[in-house]
Structure formats: C-alpha cells, structure tokens
Amino acid sequence: SQLKADNVIYAEIRFAPLLHIAKGLTPVEVVETVNAAFTEGKAMTGMEGGLILCTLRHYTEEQSMETVRLVEQFKGTNVLAFDMAGDEAGYPVAAHVKAFEFAKAHQLHCTCHAGEAKGPESVWDVLGHLHPTRIGHGVRSAEDPALLDHLIKKDIHLEVCPTSNVQTNIFPSVKEHAADKIYRHGVSMSINTDARTVTPVTLSSEYNTLQDVFNWDKTHFLRCNLEGIRHSFTTEAVKQKIAARIQEAYNNC
C-alpha cells in the first residue's frame, strides 16, 4: 500500500530469510510467508514485482548456500533473484563465491551490494568474483573512470539510493552525491529508496530532491525508469508491459 500510494507500478523487495528464524520459523517457512503476502499485495494493488533473497557479508559459506538454494527452491514464484548485502568493508567475498557459482549454474539472477562503504575496488572485487548483473549502490564507482567505462561495456546496472548514502555518511549531502556524475557518464542506473524503515523517504521525494539539486527533468527520470525495468529480474513479457506503461505515462505528463 505504501508503494501504491507512491505510484510505484513495479518493485523488487529484498530481505534476508536467515534474519527471521530466531523465534522458530524455518527459512523455508519465512520465504513461504513473505511470498504469500507478496502475492496478496500484488492482487490488492495491481502492482507487479518480486522478491530478492539476500545473504549477508558476515555469513558463512553454508549460510550463503542455504540462501541461494532457497532462491532455486522458490524459482517460479515471486522469488526472482539472489543478493549479497552487509558490511563490505569488514568482510571479503570469498565465503560467497560458491553460492554465486551455484546461482550461475542454475540460471538464477544476481545482484550484489558493493561500492558504498568501500571504494571502487569493492565493485571490481564483486564483478571479478561473483559476476552479478546489477550492483546495489555502486556509487563509489564514480571515483574510477575506468570502472565506469567497464560498467557500460558490461551493461552492469547500478541501484542508486541518494538519501540513504547521505544518511550513512558516504556523501556529506545530496549535492556532493555521485548520482549525476554516474548518469552523465552513461552508466545504466535507477533511483531507489533503500530500506524505508531506516531512511524514511519515498521514491517521489527522492525524485524531487534530484530535481532540486541537479535540475533533473523528465528525460533523466524516464531513462532511469526504463533502465530499471530493462535490468529487472522479471519476465520479458512483464518488462515490455511495464516499459510501455512508463513510456505512456511520461508522454502524457
């Protein structure tokens, strides 16, 4: 209902199943519960979208494998992809290589958090070892022009969350944020809210902020919207349907 109120028509929501088992639920029961609730939410709102299951940087190889196997088990439901989040500065990727190799072998979509708390070397690291098609945040890539060129060459999409990055002290303010530089370089990117319970913003407020700070207009937001759905983890049919709705809305506004 929050997303519908913000006029969102497609969303991918991520969570870490192993964070929700303290009171006795099994990881499978956690995913079953969230999957059912997401199906109900889609029916109520008419929205499209799916779920991304996260492992965390500090997890063991076994915990990452358990998480990616859940993505495989629930393939064909609302579960669309595998992600790794958490403390990138404190934990290397080694414990998670096996899980991402499993994902690739089973043709599971992957994204990965990097280039936020740690610099562009973090993005190079996950691209070299985990091979995601999207990067959560990735904004520190702006510090390395060669990396920006590489992201374009490999068509890697950045999930950019400006206010969240200011809140976590990656940038002192949105004015100093790398979003505009990344956009102007030609890297595929979208604007996102990150965790709204932590960073209480809406997508509309993020758009308004970028309009005010960087003078972004419809052209910028349309490109980000279309790149977001092009790099989404849904089916080609849904991608085409959502892209058409986005284009029509921009044509009429």
**Catalytic positions:** 116
CB 49 within 8 A of CB 10: yes
Identify the DSSP state of 57.
Answer: T
| The CA-based dihedral angle spanning residues 68, 103, 151, 225, taken in that order and rounded to the nearest 10 degrees | -70
Burial pattern 28-45, b for ≥16 Cβ within 10 A else e, equals eebbeebbeebeebeeeb
Residue 64: CA count within 13 A, CB half-sphere? 24
Backbone angles phi, psi at 189, to 5 degrees: -155, 160
CA gap 112, 131 in Å, rounded: 9
Q: Residue 63: CB partners within 8 Å, gap ≥ 6?
A: 18, 55, 56
Backbone angles phi, psi at 125, to 5 degrees: -60, -50
Q: Residue 243: CB partners within 8 Å, gap ≥ 6?
A: 226, 229, 230
How many of the other CB atoms lie within 10 Å of CB of 120? 21
CA gap 16, 83 in Å, rounded: 9
For Cα atoms 73, 75, 78, give the angle at the middle one, nearest 5 degrees. Answer: 120
